[in-house]
Amino acid sequence: MMTVTAAQCPKAGRVSIIGAGNVGSTLGQRLVEKNLADVVLLDIQSGRPKGLALDLMEARGVERHDRTIIGTDDYGDTQNSDLIVIAAGIARKPGMSRDDLLKINAEIVAKVAKQAIAQSPDALLLVVTNPLDVMTYLAWQASGLPPQRVMGMAGVLDAARFGTFIAMELNVSIMDVNAMVLGGHGDLMVPLPRYSTVSGIPITDLMDTGTIARLIERTRNGGAEIVSLMQAGSAYFAPASSACSMVESILYGRARILPAAVYLNGEYDLKDIFIGVPACLDREGVSRVLELDLLDDEYQALHASATSVRQSIETAQTLIG
Ligand code: APR
């Protein structure tokens, strides 16, 4: 009987995921089981990524895909990656201030970005660690990469949450819903009802303002709602799906327009900041930033969010010296 081995299949992109926690390992699973990329899972805990990778390799016996996944604590194993995803960090623990968390994750993200890019200088960088927009900025600085090759995942997740609540509220298929959320990944994010549609129809034509305000509030609290239900840990299925869609658009040059934390150099009157706006993602990374026509209150809300992101960047830079 003729069998096709992985070696005979078309070459896949190579994605290294730094941080094999819930988000990193679920992203690894999505990438290999969708047959999208070969994956390296790297974590500071050496056994965890190795065990997870072996478990996922054994699942191939059932899932029948051609991709490989390895686990490691050695950056040498990530060499020549096409894309590095940073999902390393720690979650806030009782007694820890926001600044304590900011400092710890800032140090981790800057360090791992440098180490990973040293092994794969031609790679693109996708940041997932929170606080997202701040970590993306710090990873970019530490990596020394051109800003177009660095981006953060949050807008896809926030839009997925908004879209889910829209579909649930209207009792329509999620297939026809496209939501848009701008701004930082936090309380000041800017869901845009005028640019959120069901089969091309803006939701402002389908729902009253009170209902839209309720869905926006639930979207803003999307992460916190899950944390309070789970008690320990935070969301990872939807974050992993969101990162996976960005990886796919990049590796396969699909040029999807997705909301992402990207570097702005004057767009939306903002400079030297990573923040969520719609962008075209392809093989080069961020090939285009799309500037939406904003109403005054939308523009003000985006700028308020940017001010808060900028303050956190400055705090993080002071804390890590
Ligand atoms: N190098 C490599 N891995 C590290 C390092 C480091 N210096 N420091 C921590 N890690 C690893 C941890 O060992 C852990 O396995 O990062 C992983 C984080 O995993 P989880 O605690 O399970 O967190 P997770 O839910 O995956 O979230 C990761 O993504 O969505 C964001 O807010 C979330 O910032 C968080 C990140």
129 and 263 fall within a common domain:
no
174 shares a domain with 98: no
Of the chain, the percentage scoring pLDDT greater than 90 comes to: 90
> Domain boundary residue among 112, 133, 153?
153
Ligand 1 centroid – CA 62 distance (Å): 28
| Residue 210 within any structural domain of the chain | yes
The whole domain housing 232 covers: 155-319
For ligand 1, atom 7: residue with the closest CA:
108
Does the residue 234 lie in any domain?
yes
**Residues in contact with 281: Cβ distance below 8 Å, sequence separation at least 6, in sequence order:** 151, 246, 249, 250, 254, 255, 256, 258, 260, 287
Q: What is the pLDDT of residues 195-220, one digit of tens each?
A: 999 999 999 999 999 999 999 999 99
Is residue 215 located within the same domain as residue 295?
yes
Quick check: CB of 88 below 6 Å from ligand 1?
Answer: yes
- Give yes or no for a contact between 251 and 148, defined as CB atoms under 8 angstroms apart: no
Do 114 and 199 fall within a single domain?
no
Of residues 128 and 97, which shows the higher confidence score? 128
CATH number for position 174: 3.90.110.10
Based on the domain organization, do 136 and 253 belong to the same domain?
Answer: no
Strands 37-42, 69-72: pairing kind: parallel
Give me the pLDDT at residue 100, please: 85
- The C-alpha atoms of residue 276 and residue 273 are separated, in whole angstroms, by 10
Are 74 and 133 part of one and the same domain? yes
**DSSP states along 239-305:** HHHHHHHHHHHHHTT--EEEEEEEEEESGGG-EEEEEEEEEEEETTEEEEE------HHHHHHHHHH
Q: Say if residue 147 is in the same domain as residue 181.
A: no
Residue nearest to atom 18 of ligand 1 (CA): 21
Higher pLDDT, 224 or 116: 116
Centre of ligand 1 from the C-alpha of residue 294, in Å: 35
Backbone angles phi, psi at 318, to 5 degrees: -65, -45
The residue from 133, 153, 173 where one domain ends is: 153
| Whether residue 54 has pLDDT greater than 70 | yes
Residue where one domain finishes, among candidates 130, 153, 176: 153
Ligand 1 pocket check for 91: Cβ under 6 Å: yes
144, 193: one domain: no
Are residues 185 and 127 both part of a single domain?
Answer: no
Residue 5 has pLDDT above 80, yes or no: no
Q: Indicate whether 4 pLDDT > 60.
A: no
Domain-embedded: residue 6: no
Find out whether the beta carbon of 222 lies less than 6 Å from any atom of ligand 1.
no
Q: Is residue 7 domain-resident?
A: no
Q: Closest Cα to atom 19, ligand 1: which residue?
A: 21
Q: Is residue 214 part of a domain?
A: yes
Is residue 44 within 6 Å of ligand 1 at its C-beta?
Answer: yes
Binning pLDDT at 50, 70 and 90, where does residue 39 land?
very high
pTM of the prediction? 0.96
Q: What is the mean pLDDT of residues 87-110?
A: 88
Tell me, yes or no, whether 2 lies in a domain.
Answer: no
Q: What angle do CA 142, 68, 40 make, to 5 degrees?
A: 20
Tell me: do 92 and 205 sit in the same domain: no
Is the per-residue pLDDT at 11 higher than 50?
yes
Is the domain of 75 the same as that of 206?
no
Whether the per-residue pLDDT at 318 is higher than 60: the answer is: yes
Domain-located, residue 1: no
Read off the pLDDT of each residue in 106-128 and give the average, rounded to a whole number.
98
138 and 106 Cβ atoms separated by less than 8 Å = yes
- Tens of pLDDT, residues 256-269: 999 999 999 999 99
**Structure-model confidence comparison of residues 93 and 317, the more confident one:** 317
| Ligand 1 atom closest to Cα of residue 129 | 34
CATH number of the domain encompassing residue 71 = 3.40.50.720
Rounded mean pLDDT, 40-68:
97
Average pLDDT of the chain? 95
Same domain, 171 and 149: no
Q: Which atom of ligand 1 is nearest to the CA of 24?
A: 26
> Domain tally for the chain?
2
Inside any domain, residue 205: yes
Closest alpha carbon to 164 in 237, 103, 107: 237
* Ligand 1 pocket, residue 236 CB under 6 Å: yes
- Rounded to the nearest whole angstrom, what is the distance from the C-alpha of residue 8 to the centroid of ligand 1? 34
pLDDT at 131: 94
Give the per-residue pLDDT at 10: 54
| Gap from CA of 144 to ligand 1 centroid (Å) | 22
Lowest mean pLDDT among 96-110, 149-163, 243-257: 96-110
243's CB contacts (< 8 A; 6+ apart) are: 23, 27, 85, 87, 126, 128, 153, 156
